[in-house]
A and B are shown apart, each in its own frame.
Chain A
Amino acid sequence: MKLAYWMYAGPAHIGTLRVASSFKNVHAIMHAPLGDDYFNVMRSMLERERDFTAATASIVDRHVLARGSQERVVDNILRKDKEEHPDLVILTPTCTSSILQEDLQNFVNRASIISDSDVIFADVDHYQVNEIQAADRTLEQVVRYYLDRCHRQEKWHQFLTDAPSVNIIGIFTLGFHNQHDCRELRRLLRDLDIEINKIIPEGGSVEDLKNLPKAWFNLIPYREVGLMTAMYLNKEYGMPYISTAPMGAVDMAEWIRQIQKNVNTFTLISSNKRVDYEPYIDGQTRFVSQAAWFSRSIDCQNLTGKETVVFGDATHAASITKILVREMGIRVSCVGTYCKHDAEWFKEQIQGLCDEILITDDHTEVGDMIAHMEPSAIFGTQMERHIGKRLDIPCGVISAPVHIQNFPLGYRPFLGYEGTNQIADLIYNSFALGMEDHLLDIFGGHDTKEIISKSLSTDIGLIWNPESRLELSKIPRFAREKVEKNTEKFARQKGIETITVEVMYAAKEAL
């Protein structure tokens, strides 16, 4: 048992639901008590999703505790099958239902015999894995299920596409800027003359999964989700994969070179033309992306040696650290991640780039560290943004967990060359703007701080009696001034001199 106020990664079933609802025409059923379908709210609100989220609960209530789910789960699966005709139904346990130890796999087996849809049981243990790991596993499980079946049915044509092509694995719902990143990757690959075979899970259809092996290789933009699938495809079908995140100019170049290497390996076999992307990298880095020029411009000089702290998921925290240190000359005092399961990789990535490494999923530890370091800026999650607010340190949000404002309508990729521009803006704007900061130091701050907004009305001889004063003080601060003004206006109109609690509420009614 531990005391917890906040967590970076959610429970396992959220990961499964995110994968399920990213696919087209896949329905997820949670074996869960009332109220556990909060995922639907998040998807509807944060992503501003226009469609009903294809996730429902098979409710666990008192009766289920006493007698077991019996027919209920199977009925719910069959009902969804009839109502919505999904290609696939994924049954997922929640932490509550996983301790009931009902044989959900058995329900799945029974339902799959009767239903037209495929039915699988999300094989994730709630007490072993978190949201991110569960998403990774579920994606692999779905892919494996369809490829295995295809194998069994011998509908197998393992021909590679004629032109170089890739799968992009790991773009999905409620991911940090995933939609924008996906668009940016499409654009990049088009520039490189590479076809996109499949993008999964977002918008993908499970029936198409059998075509995954037709691509030449796989791209895993974020290592948190998709790596397991890539490893599976590599083992079973010999598909190479690139797990570098194309974030920041240096890693972008590295990523494109890896693509080049992979493309050229296959072209040797199919005797196509070899590709050379070096001119493209050079042109993009120097002229399309503004980031390289920006970090050389004099404005950026002010950032030299400023201290920062970085915290987030493994992919984003590592990439942003590299950008800060290698591309902008900013000092990173401490960098950390909450992806404890990927700590080894993380440490290796940022070796030599920072003074300290913090691997934790306890936000108070992160808060203490930040308070101790007193950096000029923080790059972290929504939690770090709030820590920053408390300590009066600016913060740029670079990683999930996220808030509605991290689902911008405008185009804001973190990956690709446009991503380098966006990141440069984010970093620059997070520091108190260079020259302004400097001038403030010299001239001792703004002179506008002390303006006190006295409303004119308070000195016209109205008396608030002690009770009404107290009542007024209980009104939330943001509304208090308005209530005060309205009440006084009302009192003046009525010729009342002493304001009592009654007068306050009469004023409210009269409004």
Chain B
Amino acid sequence: MSVKIDKTLTVECETGNYHTFCPISCVSWLYQKIEDSFFLVVGTKTCGYFLQNALGVMIFAEPRYAMAELEEGDISAQLNDYEGLRKLCIRIRKDRDPSVIIWIGTCTTEIIKMDLEGMAPKLEWEIGIPILVARANGLDYAFTQGEDTVLAAMAHRCPESEFFVRERKETKQNLFTFHSRKKEELVEYANHPSLVLFGSLPFNVASQLSLELKRQSIKVSGWLPAQKYTDLPSLGNGVYVCGINPFLSRTATTLIRREKCQLIRAPFPIGPDGTRAWIEKICPVFGVEPQGLKEREERIWESLKDYLDLVHGKSVFLMGDNLLEVSLARFLIRCGMIVHEIGIPYMDKRYQAAELSLLQDTCIKMCVPIPRIVEKPDNSNQIRRIRELQPDLAITGMAHANPLEARGITTKWSVEFTFAQIHGFANAKDVLELVTRPLRRQKNLEDLGQTALVRK
């Protein structure tokens, strides 16, 4: 096949008029991940309305989050912010007794310049519960970047790594309780500096990834965030960190600059190709020769065969709203799909460098041109492009999904990729399950011949 391949990678920038979730939505998955936390969103009715509608049923399950709803008096500074927050936090302590309260700053607190960072330490001291501040607002961030702001704030609270002292103490303790197990571990893992992974994943996925590294005899000493706030990992000089999600650039920066950690720049473990590349970047850092990865990746691809037949040669358009787009596109290209456009809210070329170069390599390998990457896309322009290109699949937000379907464009709702388990070798199938679902549905309904369901 003689296709002229454009090997240069360019990032365009549009107007930024696109649809995405407000970053405060991160409370929905983070409160579930960090079991002893309480999230307090300091904002207005609009924030509350978004949360209650976006999170649907979760609202009714007595969630560990709430709104501190600002009223007119708060906006015009007739009321004392500190007093207001103090009262609410004392009530939260009484009702829920969390190990940490996380204040989520919103657009309103930004505009009225409420000094959350200033008040938090004072109140923390007064009520005796750690209070973190994350400014996850729509003025600065999109959707998943909310998690980034929370984790960046949390990184400051990780204990200082004193790892030799610590390690010894632990071994002593373990001699009594987990005697046999500890011995086993000593044999299994290579002797290497500690590695902390950052990014919130469901417990099972986190443990799959840890297991994957264990196979290479690399030990994951901790996760940011951990299952409990009280179990935050130790950080510090000599600790290596690696991200598992593409939207964690602030957290990465904080870990490097403030916590003096070493960042391993790797592609993200999404898809078998990504997972392999991720492990292969980590191994040499610790002087480990990766074992059996090639075979493992091949086995996974083999098991995906049915799905690959479905997606092969189909085209995709990613409108962009959750920053997973580059990794997803890279995986889908490797699956044999053609990507027209990668829309993305924000592109940190340094943090995503390894992922971008893997995208480049993948495109060369698969003999396809590198798709255009559009930062801060403009939805109405994109819809025009979608109509021209008529892709087989548009990965898009819910605001556009139904209207596009009605016009005969098959869509996949992008937010599902944020909530589904998509990391590691074992979950590659889940990604394709999501991607192919609309294609399979369409196949089932094909004979009805009703593709465009709008009146002209």
Q: Which residues of A contact B (CB under 8 A)?
A: 1-7, 10-11, 13-14, 32-38, 40-42, 44-45, 48-53, 56-62, 65, 76, 83, 94-96, 99-100, 126-128, 130, 383, 386, 389, 403, 471, 474-475, 501-502, 505, 508-511
Contact = CB atoms under 8 A, between A and B. Distances in A.
Contact of A10 (B45, B111, B139, B207): B45
A1 B17 contact: no
A2 B69 contact: yes
Contacts of A511: 429
Given A1-B84, A57-B17, A96-B111, A35 B71 contact: no
Contact of B397 (A41, A51, A127): A41
Nearest to A50: B406
A62 B211 CA distance: 42
A126 B44 contact: yes
A65 B72 CA distance: 20
B45 A126 contact: yes
A61 B140 contact: yes
B63 A36 contact: no
B399 A100 contact: no
Contacts of B138: 32-36, 96
Contacts of A13: 46
A3 B22 contact: no
A1 B398 contact: no
B400 A44 contact: yes
Interface of B: 16-24, 44-46, 48-50, 52-54, 56, 59-60, 63, 66-72, 74-75, 79, 81, 84-85, 87-88, 91-92, 106-108, 110-112, 137-143, 203-204, 207-208, 211, 299-300, 303, 379-380, 383, 397-403, 406, 425-426, 429, 453-454
Given A33-B139, A34-B20, 12 more contacts: A1-B85, A1-B88, A11-B45, A33-B137, A34-B138, A36-B22, A37-B19, A41-B398, A44-B399, A65-B111, A95-B46, A509-B426
Nearest to B272: A509
Contact of B48 (A1, A7, A41, A389): A7
Contacts of A508: 426
15 contacts: A1-B69, A5-B63, A7-B48, A14-B49, A35-B20, A38-B49, A40-B19, A50-B453, A52-B383, A59-B17, A95-B44, A95-B45, A403-B56, A509-B303, A509-B426
Contacts of B91: 3
A7 B399 contact: no
A36 B50 CA distance: 8
Contact of A1 (B70, B426, B454): B70
Nearest to B146: A35
A510 B88 CA distance: 50
The 5 A-B residue pairs with the shortest CB-CB distance, nearest first, are A35-B22, A33-B138, A1-B84, A40-B399, A50-B406
Nearest to A58: B17
A10 B54 CA distance: 13
Contact of B50 (A38, A49, A58, A126): A38
Given A34-B20, A38-B50, A96-B107, A11 B44 contact: yes
Nearest to B25: A35
A1 B80 CA distance: 9
A38 B45 CA distance: 13
Contacts of B45: 7, 10-11, 95, 126, 130
Contacts of A49: 402-403
Given A33-B137, A34-B20, A50-B406, A4 B48 contact: yes
Contacts of B44: 11, 95-96, 126
A40 B401 CA distance: 11
B383 A4 contact: no
A94 B22 CA distance: 14
B225 to A, nearest CB: 16
A394 to B, nearest CB: 16
A270 B79 CA distance: 62
A183 to B, nearest CB: 19
B67 A475 contact: no
A128 B23 CA distance: 26
Given A7-B48, A38-B53, A99-B108, A127 B402 contact: no
Nearest to B92: A3
Contacts of B111: 65, 96, 99-100
Contacts of A59: 16-17
Contact of A45 (B69, B79, B402): B402
A142 B440 CA distance: 46
A509 B300 contact: yes
A475 B19 contact: no
A7 B52 contact: yes
Contacts of A509: 299-300, 303, 425-426
Contacts of B379: 56
A4 B19 CA distance: 26
A3 B88 contact: yes
A37 B425 CA distance: 36
A99 B299 CA distance: 57
B204 A474 contact: yes
Nearest to A389: B60
A65 B139 contact: yes
A4 B402 contact: no
A35 B399 contact: no
B319 to A, nearest CB: 13
Contacts of B81: 1
A37 B406 CA distance: 21
A471 B45 CA distance: 39
Q: Which of A14, A33, A59 is the most central at the interface, judged by chain B CB atoms within 10 Å of its CB?
A: A33
B33 to A, nearest CB: 12
A6 B454 contact: no
Contacts of B426: 505, 508-509
B399 to A, nearest CB: 4
A83 B142 contact: no
B403 A51 contact: yes
Nearest to B86: A1
Contacts of A3: 66-69, 88, 91-92
Contact of A96 (B49, B68, B85, B108): B108
B22 A34 contact: yes
Given A14-B49, A50-B454, A4 B380 contact: no
Nearest to A387: B60
Contacts of A37: 19, 399
Contacts of A34: 16, 18, 20, 22, 138-139, 141-142
B16 A61 contact: yes
Contacts of B425: 509
A1 B54 contact: no
A96 B46 contact: yes
B401 A44 contact: yes
A13 B453 CA distance: 30
A14 B49 CA distance: 10
Contacts of B207: 471, 501
A91 to B, nearest CB: 15
A378 to B, nearest CB: 14
A83 B378 CA distance: 14
Contact of B142 (A1, A35, A41): A35
A94 B45 CA distance: 10
B88 A44 contact: no
Contacts of A475: 204
Given A508-B426, A509-B300, A502 B46 contact: no
Q: Point out which of A1, A13, A49, A511 has the most chain B C-beta atoms below 10 A from its C-beta.
A: A1
A203 B299 CA distance: 56
Contact of A35 (B23, B74, B79, B85): B23
A95 B397 CA distance: 24
Given A1-B74, A6-B59, A11-B45, A33 B399 contact: no
A511 B299 CA distance: 12
A330 B46 CA distance: 38
Contacts of B203: 474
Nearest to B427: A508
B49 A83 contact: no
Nearest to B57: A386
B398 to A, nearest CB: 4
